[in-house]
Structure 1
Amino acid sequence: MDENLNEEKNSPPNQTDSGEEVKKDIQGLLGSTKKFLSELLDIRSNTDQEATKEAIIADIPFKGHTSWILICSIFIASIGLNANSTAVVIGAMLISPLMGPILGIGLSLAVNDVDTLRRSLKNFTVMVVLSVLTAYLFFAIFPLRDESSELLARTAPDIRDVLIAFFGGLALVIARAKKGTIASVIFGVAIATALMPPLCTVGFGLAIGNYDYATGAMYLFSINTIFIALATFLVLKLLRFPMVRYVNSKKRRLIGRVASLFAILVMIPAGITFWDALQESLFRKQAQRFVEEKIAPYQFEGSGRFMDDFTDIEFNNGENPYIELVFMGNETIPDNVIATWNKQKEDEGSFDRLKNTELHIIQGAKNEQLDQLKYVDQLYETQKTELADKDSRIKLLEGELGKLARLSIPFADVSIEAKTNYTNLESLGFSPTIQTDFNKIDTIPIFEVKWKKDAKPFQTDEDTKKLHAWLKLRLKDSTIQLKEIVQD
């Protein structure tokens, strides 16, 4: 018997027991981690459902003081956008009461409250109409209506605006639900999501007759509205806010179905908007990578040069997308190289989103007037030794040749190339202008450009900058000035 006891003491530990101990340790670690994350991220324990609901419902009505606050914020935002003042625009965002009805829409859908939904939609519609109408009247009457960068920034939303609206809405409703509302979060979301400036931009677009501006700005406002309401709906569902109960069970089921249907209808355009913005973002990213990997490394044998800053990538909602590439210098890109780029673009593995994308190749070329200038320069070089008073005459002749090079431009060739590069170009003019600072007189080459009336202003602004830079490079003259003729 003693021998059996000794054998049990000296036997190795049971492997099953060791495995169970390890398993228990892992389960304990996972349990501790889960508990830590639950305490860190849980917001239900510190949520005041009744106070949150009352606060949101209290901000829905639009009358009296709220209406005048909205009107004042519209004027402030319109003036800030007109003056291109970011600080003034931010102030208007903080004043604006537009957020109330939007949160009311999300709340009513989450708790199945049709009466609140009806009030929210009614007040929201009145606010939007009043905002657009007031902004329209301001810009229609006010004599200064410059297209500032603050205005243009609200006309072309992308995927970043979708994400800002959604996460801003999440932060807002979470802050609203907390016991002791976090005011700084509410102010921050009001600035980030920017509901008022897009509506003012809609009014501006209508006032100047540019419906592309109005459509783009309303699109941005719709993105902000839908995703803030969607974020409110999701958070309140997560927090398990109690559903509104009705005495009539049939009515309750009907209202529940209507509310659910409305929530789905709200989410559908939100999903479509997000998907379209995502597709454009992925396309631009892949197009940029294609240019960096395939186009930029191309080596020229002569004086050719790829102008990366002039690259224009257009998605066009997936219809007829294109990549415009600009090359300067007398050396042209061989056809076989362009064919290779097109073949690489069709590579489904690396650039599958560029399959139906066109490559627009724009290249500089020689012209007769530049050759004439070279001839004059050569004549000067051969004859200058015969000139009397050599030094002064050489200086004079160099100055005259410089003026000739600047003023005798190949206007016919330049205008044809410009029209090819910029389809919205209606007319292009050139004239030398004499000016003085009262110390010396100089002649400045000035181009005048006029864009088509139906061209998008943000596009013409970008094209004007590109055209100006291209003219300087094309004619090798940094003093060239470009003046845009504003349509009546």
Structure 2
Amino acid sequence: ETPELLARTAPDVRDVFIAIAGGLALIIALSRRSKQTNTIAGVAIATALMPPLCTAGFGLATGNLNYFAGAMFLFTINTIFIALAAFVIIKFLKFPMVKYINSAKRKRIARLASFVAVLVFSGSIYMFVNLFKENQFKQAAQHLINDIKESGISIIDEVAENINYKNKSIKLVIYGYKIPKEELDNWEAKLFEYGLEQTKLIFQQGADDTDIRNEVKSLSDLYAQNQKIISSRDESIKEKEDRIKLLETELSKFYDTQIPFVQISKEAQINYNGLSNLSYAKMVQTNFKTTDTITVFNAKWYDTVPNTTNQKLLLKKWLKTRLNLDTLQLNNN
């Protein structure tokens, strides 16, 4: 549905003047000797008669009888007043008239045509006045709605159905805080100031939601407190996790510095038959400038070993290589 379609379902007196203008264009064009003026006549008729017929067809196709009736009324207006305008010009230009043998029949047809023309013209005036009053009503209602909004009342954007001219009612849907009845009654009392004395002002709003809003606020505050507690717990857990990671790192470093002495002693016994005893310890020493931790091994050899000096050097070299140590002290007994 377009504005152009709707405009042809509610004709008024303005359409009468348009039809008269079309009829004048038609007869003036046909009264010229030039054949090119026939185009003007065709356009005048087409623009006046085709749109209402198309609208009437749309009304029949959609089952909307109001559209069909309004469009056919417009078609009737155009047909009658185009013919009337043409007849007036023909009389003015003194074209030869058809002679009726029966003068009574001619008068009867003339009276009938005049009656239909007056009836259609009166109907178009009535519809124009009704349309004018409806527009005034809608403008006044819109002015009232704007003032209500400016007063601080929240209104859902109104639709065309909320302003009903036929029922003389204005329906407004309010959201947000419940408006006191005294304030709403005050607006109803002001209707006469907008020219809406016989109009019914309907306010539609939900129940008082103050308690619900307070409950929602309490829940929001409780949620914020819980979030703060959870955040505090998360921070505490994170501190503990960091502490655990630090201890794990320190423990890993400690294990890295430990020497697998049992395995070393077994390998040393296999590689050096003359070794009777092997001990191990960590010794911390300082020169009063720096402090260092040194790995110390004590080795005892059987008396039967012929060359302990060479064995001692080989054992020390093997231990440094095996343990990947730069500094190592070996004491031999």
Which TM-score band applies after superposition, normalised by the shorter structure? 0.5 to 0.7
Aligned partner of 1:307 in structure 2 is 156
Question: What's the % identity of the aligned pairs?
Answer: 22
1:158 and 1:277 in contact (8 A); partners too: no
2:185 corresponds to 1:346: no
Q: Closer, same or farther in 2 for the Cα pair 1:254/1:228, shift >3 Å?
A: closer
Q: Does 1:201 align with 2:59?
A: yes
- CA drift of 1:226 comes to 2.7
User: What is the alpha-carbon distance in structure 2 between the residues aligned to residue 229 and residue 184 of structure 1?
Assistant: 14
Q: Distance in 2 between matches of 1:291 and 1:175?
A: 46
Q: CA deviation at 1:307?
A: 3.5
Aligned to 1:114: none
Structure 2 counterparts to residues 41-440 of structure 1, below 5 A = 149=1, 154=5, 161-162=11-12, 165-177=15-27, 178=29, 179=32, 180-181=37-38, 182=40, 185-186=43-44, 189=47, 193-205=51-63, 214-241=64-91, 244-292=98-146, 294-298=147-151, 300=152, 304-310=153-159, 312-316=162-166, 320-332=167-179, 334-347=180-193, 351=195, 354-364=196-206, 365-366=208-209, 372-387=215-230, 388-389=233-234
Deviation at 1:314, TM superposition (A): 0.2
Q: CA deviation at 1:164?
A: 6.8
Amino acid at match of 1:357: T
After superposition, give the CA deviation of every residue in 1:409-428 in whole Å (9 maximum; x if it has no partner): xxxxxxxxxxxxxxxxxxxx
CA, structure 1 residues 163+268, in 2 after alignment: closer, same or farther (shift >3 Å)?
A: closer
Q: CA deviation at 1:358?
A: 0.1
After superposition, the C-alpha distances for 1:55-89 in whole angstroms (9 at most, x for unaligned) are xxxxxxxxxxxxxxxxxxxxxxxxxxxxxxxxxxx
Letter paired with 1:252: R
Q: 1:245 to 1:267 in 2, by over 3 A?
A: farther
**3-state DSSP class of the match of 2:150?**
coil
Q: Determine the structure 2 residue equivalent to 1:402.
A: none
Tell me: CA distance 1:345–1:385, structure 2 relative to 1, closer, same or farther (3 Å): closer
Q: Please give the per-residue CA displacement for 1:72-128, whole angstroms capped at 9, x wherever unaligned.
A: xxxxxxxxxxxxxxxxxxxxxxxxxxxxxxxxxxxxxxxxxxxxxxxxxxxxxxxxx
Q: For 2:188 and 2:44, locate their aligned partners in 1 and report how far apart those are by CA, in whole Å.
A: 50
Q: Is the 8 A contact 1:166 1:230 kept in 2?
A: no
Counterpart residue type for residue 297 of structure 1: E
**Cα separation, 2, equivalents of 1:189 and 1:328:** 48
Q: 1:372 to 1:346 in 2, by over 3 A?
A: same
Q: Which structure would you say has the larger Rg?
A: 2
Is the 8 Å Cα contact of residues 19 and 48 (structure 2) preserved in structure 1?
Answer: no
Distance in 1 (alpha carbons) for counterparts of 2:90 and 2:145: 50
Evaluate the alpha carbon distance shift between residue 156 and residue 329 of structure 1 in structure 2; reply closer, same or farther with a 3 A threshold: farther
The letter for the 1-side match of 2:113 is: A
Query: Is contact 2:177-2:210 (8 Å) kept?
Result: no
Query: Residues 222 and 192 (structure 1 numbering): CA distance in 2 closer, same or farther, change over 3 Å?
Result: closer
CA contact (8 A) 1:223 1:273 kept: no
Q: Is the 8 A contact 1:157 1:220 kept in 2?
A: yes
User: In structure 1, how many angstroms separate the alpha carbons of the residues matched to 2:132 and 2:109?
Assistant: 34
Structure 2 unmatched runs, 5+: 236-333
Deviation of 1:338 after TM superposition, in Å, equals 2.6
Change in Cα spacing, 1:290 to 1:194, as seen in structure 2 (3 Å) is same
Instruction: Tell me how many residue pairs correspond in the alignment.
Output: 219
Q: How far apart, in 1, do the equivalents of 2:54 and 2:138 lie?
A: 29
Kept in 2: contact 1:169–1:189 (CA 8 A): no
Please, which moves more after superposition, 189-198 or 321-330?
A: 189-198
- Cα distance in 1 for partners of 2:53, 2:223 equals 66
Instruction: Give the CA RMSD over aligned residues.
Output: 3.5
2-side partners of 1:184 and 1:153: how far apart? 21
For residues 251 and 337 of structure 1, what CA distance do their matches in structure 2 show? Answer: 69
- Distance change (3 Å), C-alpha of 1:257 and 1:186: closer
SS of the equivalent of 1:324 reads strand
Q: Structure 1 regions of 5+ residues with no counterpart?
A: 1-148, 206-213, 391-488
Give the deviation of 1:322 after TM superposition. Answer: 0.2
Mapped to 2, the partners of 1:249 and 1:186 lie a distance apart of: 33
Is contact 1:169–1:227 with CA below 8 Å preserved after alignment?
A: yes
The answer as to whether partners of 1:166 and 1:227 remain within 8 angstroms in 2 is yes
